[in-house]
Every structure is written in C-alpha cells, then in structure tokens.
Amino acid sequence: MAEKLIFHKIADHPDELAWGDNHIAVAEASGKKICIGRYTDRFFAFAYKCPHAGGVLAQGWIDPLGNVVCPLHRYKFSLENGRNVSGEGYYLKRWPVEWREDGLYVGMETGGWGGIFG
C-alpha cells in the first residue's frame, strides 16, 4: 500500500533559497538535506548526493536538456523522472514540489525517507 505524502514547507518564496549560478539550491525537508533545481520556470526536488559515488549534486549543474549533472563523474539524471540518461543505470531519488500561494513545498512519504519516484 502506498504511503500518504506529507508536504513540507521549505520556503515562503523561492527567492528565499540560496540559488547558485547552476540553478540549484540546498534546502531541508523533514530534517534531511535535499537539492531544489529550477529549470524552465519549474521546481524539482532531488537527492543531495549522487547515487553512484556520493557526489554533492548542489555542486553540479543543470544542462540545457533538463538533466542534473553530477560534478564527480558527470553522470546525468533527468529532473522529470530521475532516470540516469548517460547510460550507467542509476536512478536519482526525487520528490514532488508544489509552489503554492503561501510558499514552496516538497512532498515526502509518511513512512520513511525514500523517494517516491525513483
């Protein structure tokens, strides 16, 4: 049975986040550090570390096709589905983001810290 999502407010407004030139910010949700990516006026929440070798994805970048690129080995992951598009077979944990009238929220499962999409 699927767990219910709980949405955690991470900012009153996206501009409150410390965005890097790479369009990635670090936030905290449910006591865990995560990355928030901004691409084509949309927001994406994904794991702080690469599933391959633990590279800090906030130090990577988002390419023109909407993939987050790990700074260590340049593995690429789709922001849309978490799939590793450079062919290594990994999946990036990610969570839904909602930009509401009162702030930016990230949805996480109530039963644990696992990503719901990957």
Q: Looking at per-residue confidence, does 112 or 17 come out higher?
A: 17
Predicted local confidence at residue 29, as pLDDT: 92
* Distance in angstroms (rounded) separating the CA atoms of residues 46 and 112: 15
Task: Label residues 82-112 b or e (16+ Cβ within 10 Å = b).
Answer: bebbeeeebbbbbbebeeeeeebbbbbbeee
Q: Do the Cβ atoms of 81 and 117 come closer than 8 Å? A: yes
pLDDT at 113 over 90: no
Provide the whole-model pTM.
0.89
Q: Which domains does the chain have, with CATH numbers?
A: 5-106 (2.102.10.10)
Q: Looking at per-residue confidence, does 37 or 118 come out higher?
A: 37
Token pair listed for 1: 């049975």
What are the pLDDT digits (tens) for 11-51?
999 999 999 999 999 999 988 999 999 999 999 999 999 99
What are the pLDDT digits (tens) for 62-77?
999 999 999 999 999 9
* DSSP code string of 40-100: TTEEEEEESB-TTT--BGGGSEE-TTSEEE-TTT--EEETTT-BBTTSS--B--EE-EEEE
